[in-house]
């Protein structure tokens, strides 16, 4: 699909966000945004609370804004000052690079491009990699001996896939995956809401979905993630992305956020997500609890 | 004008989604009429049921669509993913205006007219078909009209459970912030709603006498 007309979209997108966010980011405060899923909200809440407890800068939260592109529009338009982004997502979906290189070079390239093009700073990553998780039911994985995505090719013609719209549209999404692994499903994948795909998989309406590897539902719903044995997906290391102007204005914010570097690994993130998604705990309480315990 | 170019490049897909959309709205409205009109008549006969039934229809109206889909997916027969689930949800949303207007229309028939019918020896059934329904037709049809127009808009959420329709363009557009795609779904949905409103307005004028 054509992704042209970037400038028009930026103008319309900013207008949309201006009404959505209700005014501009004021200089005396830091506005933290998040994408529209639990992990992004959680990381934003951790970032926000860390700023609040280490500095005197007031923090405003604009959580659950929309997908990657909405957050990107918001931060480049100055509607938000920071949010948690993933290196691989920035690399493929925002910068439109072909998937391929390893973790370090992806991070370096993304960081340079963001600084040059939009005056946005990538801080040190949190320490986990939230990759797309090609997920099947555990019972099916055992019956058909599925461990890797390449095992899927043989059974795909008899199977039905269900994916979220972002995965279907992205450069590092379904089209490339199908090409690299030679996947041919019985019908074109069902396009549906990402959150509903887990339910549809668990209830047998579809047989394979693309979730996120740190999602809490994977263990709760007895699902299995297949290994990306051909390394199709780039690394998706989460890190705070903050406007350079905001960091210059508040140097103590950078110091506060640097404490978060390398503090959350994959298992820890999955646990935090499960507390929110499976045990329905309040995101603020989870963040407060985690910060008090890990960064006293 | 990007939208027109987009249709030029994707005309088959766009027409397919448009027809899916029309089918979703038609099917759900027909089912909602088949359930809602008899239910409205029943409420007019049994006033005690009015509050709980209309209250229930009101509550249904407020369930967020994604939550409703979440409930429906695990259910046998009416659940799963695809068009059937979407139609069930759309019926749920279309019921309220149809039930309420049918009830209001029939209750609003002048008691003197009803008495005159009885005086002529009409049975309950004859009274309903020959007196009450024709007199209430305007109100009932306007309820169906409202339900249809709302349905055209609401049917865009069918795209969240893999049922297709014009919502596909909207969801895809929102996922990648592509305004052309969003408009490619939203514009024809708006035109469809206007068209349905106009058409049912004609039907209303044609069949209603006062």
Q: Which two tokens stand for residue B17?
A: 């989604």
If you measure CA to CA, which chain B residue comes closest to A163? B162
Q: Do A247 and A268 belong together in one domain?
A: yes
Is residue A230 included in any domain, yes or no? no
The runs of H, that is alpha helices, within A78-231 are: 87-89, 103-118, 138-144, 152-155, 165-169, 174-181, 194-202, 217-220
Question: In the listed set A177, A194, A225, which residue is the last one of a domain according to the structure?
Answer: A225
Q: Mark yes or no for CB contact A66/B177 under 8 Å.
A: yes
Query: In angstroms, what separates the C-alpha of A55 from chain B's closest C-alpha?
Result: 34
Q: Using the predicted structure, report yes or no on whether residue A22 has a pLDDT greater than 60.
A: no
Is residue A247 included in any domain, yes or no? yes
User: What's the whole-model pTM score?
Assistant: 0.75
CB A74 within 8 A of CB A10: no
Q: Using the predicted structure, report yes or no on whether residue A185 has a pLDDT greater than 70.
A: yes
Rg (CA), chain A: 19
Q: A95: how many CB neighbours lie within 10 A of its CB?
A: 15
pLDDT averaged over chain A?
Answer: 88
Total number of domains constituting chain A? 2
Which candidate from B66, B79, B172 shows the least CB-CB separation from A169?
B172
Which candidate from A12, A168, A192 shows the least CB-CB separation from B161?
A192
A residues 198-237 closer than 8 Å to B (CB): 199-200, 203, 205-206
Q: Do A23 and A104 belong together in one domain?
A: yes
Is residue A97 included in any domain, yes or no? yes
Is some CB atom of chain B closer than 8 A to the CB atom of A190?
Answer: yes
Q: Mark yes or no for CB contact B161/A166 under 8 Å.
A: no
Is some CB atom of chain A closer than 8 A to the CB atom of B130?
Answer: no
Torsion of CA B110, B115, B117, B118, to 10 degrees: 150
Question: Which residue in A64, A67, A174, A191 has the most chain B C-beta atoms within 10 A of its own C-beta, making it the best mutation to test that interface?
Answer: A191
Which candidate from B66, B168, B176 shows the least CB-CB separation from A69?
B176
Average pLDDT over residues A251-268: 94
Q: Which has more confidence, A80 or A93? A: A80
pLDDT band per the 50, 70, 90 thresholds, residue A41? very high
Q: Using the predicted structure, report yes or no on whether residue B205 has a pLDDT greater than 70.
A: yes
Cα(B171)–Cα(B66) distance, rounded to whole angstroms?
A: 13
- Domain hosting residue A188, numbered range: 132-225
Average pLDDT over residues A261-275: 92
pLDDT band per the 50, 70, 90 thresholds, residue A9? very low
Tens digit of pLDDT for each residue in B172-201? 988 777 889 999 999 999 999 999 999 999
Question: In the listed set A184, A206, A225, which residue is the last one of a domain according to the structure?
Answer: A225
Q: Do A221 and A150 belong together in one domain?
A: yes
Q: Do A72 and A170 belong together in one domain?
A: no
* Domain at A185, CATH number: 3.40.190.120
What is the pLDDT, as a whole number, of residue A273? Answer: 92
Tens digit of pLDDT for each residue in B132-188? 999 999 999 999 999 999 999 999 999 999 999 999 999 998 877 788 999 999 999
The percent of residues above 90 in pLDDT, for chain A, comes to 67
Q: Using the predicted structure, report yes or no on whether residue B206 has a pLDDT greater than 90.
A: no
CB A67 within 8 A of CB A35: yes
Question: In the listed set A225, A246, A271, which residue is the last one of a domain according to the structure?
Answer: A225
pLDDT band per the 50, 70, 90 thresholds, residue A18? very low
Query: Rounded to an integer, what is the distance from CA A267 to the centroid of its chain?
Result: 16
CB A262 within 8 A of CB A127: yes
Q: Do A192 and A151 belong together in one domain?
A: yes
């Amino acid at each position: 699909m054509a992704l042209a007309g970037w400038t028009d979209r930026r103008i319309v997108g900013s207008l949309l966000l201006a009404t959505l966010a209700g005014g501009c980011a004021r200089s005396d405060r830091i506005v933290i945004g998040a994408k529209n899923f639990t992990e992004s909200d959680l990381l934003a809440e951790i970032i926000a609370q860390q700023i609040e407890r280490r500095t005197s800068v007031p923090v405003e939260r604009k959580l659950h804004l929309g997908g990657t592109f909405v957050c990107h529009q918001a931060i480049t338009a100055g509607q938000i000052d920071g949010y948690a982004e993933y290196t691989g997502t920035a690399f493929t979906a925002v910068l439109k690079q072909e998937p391929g290189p390893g973790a370090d070079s992806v991070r370096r390239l993304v960081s340079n491009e963001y600084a040059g093009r939009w005056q946005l700073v990538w801080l040190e990553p949190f320490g986990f990699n939230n990759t797309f998780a090609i997920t099947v039911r555990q019972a099916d994985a055992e019956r058909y001996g599925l461990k890797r995505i390449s095992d899927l090719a043989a059974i795909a013609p008899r199977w039905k896939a269900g994916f979220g719209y972002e995965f279907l549209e992205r450069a590092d999404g379904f089209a490339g995956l199908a090409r690299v692994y030679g996947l041919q499903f019985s019908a074109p994948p069902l396009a549906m809401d990402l959150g509903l795909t887990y339910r549809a998989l668990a209830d047998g309406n579809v047989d394979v979905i693309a979730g996120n590897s740190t999602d809490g539902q994977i263990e709760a719903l007895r699902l299995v993630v297949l290994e990306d044995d051909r390394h199709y997906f780039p690394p998706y290391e989460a890190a705070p992305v903050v406007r350079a102007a905001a960091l210059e204005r508040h140097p103590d914010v950078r110091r506060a956020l640097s404490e978060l570097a390398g503090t959350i690994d994959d298992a820890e993130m999955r646990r935090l997500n499960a507390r929110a998604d499976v045990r329905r705990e309040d995101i603020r309480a989870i963040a407060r609890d985690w910060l008090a315990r890990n960064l006293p | 004008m990007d939208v027109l170019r987009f249709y030029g490049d994707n005309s088959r897909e766009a027409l397919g989604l448009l027809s899916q959309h029309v089918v979703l709205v038609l099917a759900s409205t027909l089912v909602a009429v088949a359930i809602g009109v008899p239910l409205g008549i029943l409420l007019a006969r049994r006033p005690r049921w009015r509050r709980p039934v209309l209250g229930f229809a009101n509550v249904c109206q407020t369930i967020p669509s994604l939550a409703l889909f979440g409930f429906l997916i695990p259910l046998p027969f009416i659940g799963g993913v695809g068009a059937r689930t979407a139609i069930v949800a759309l019926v749920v949303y279309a019921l309220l205006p149809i039930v309420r207007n049918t009830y209001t229309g029939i209750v609003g028939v002048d008691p003197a007219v009803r008495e005159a019918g009885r005086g002529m020896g009409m049975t309950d059934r004859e009274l309903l078909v020959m007196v009450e329904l024709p007199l209430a037709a305007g109100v009932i049809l306007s309820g169906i009209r409202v339900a249809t127009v709302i349905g055209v808009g609401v049917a865009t959420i069918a795209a969240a459970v893999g049922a297709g329709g014009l919502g596909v363009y909207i969801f895809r557009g929102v996922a990648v912030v592509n305004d052309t795609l969003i408009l490619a779904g939203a514009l024809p949905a708006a035109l469809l709603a206007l068209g349905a409103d106009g058409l049912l307005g004609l039907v209303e004028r044609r069949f209603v006498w006062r």
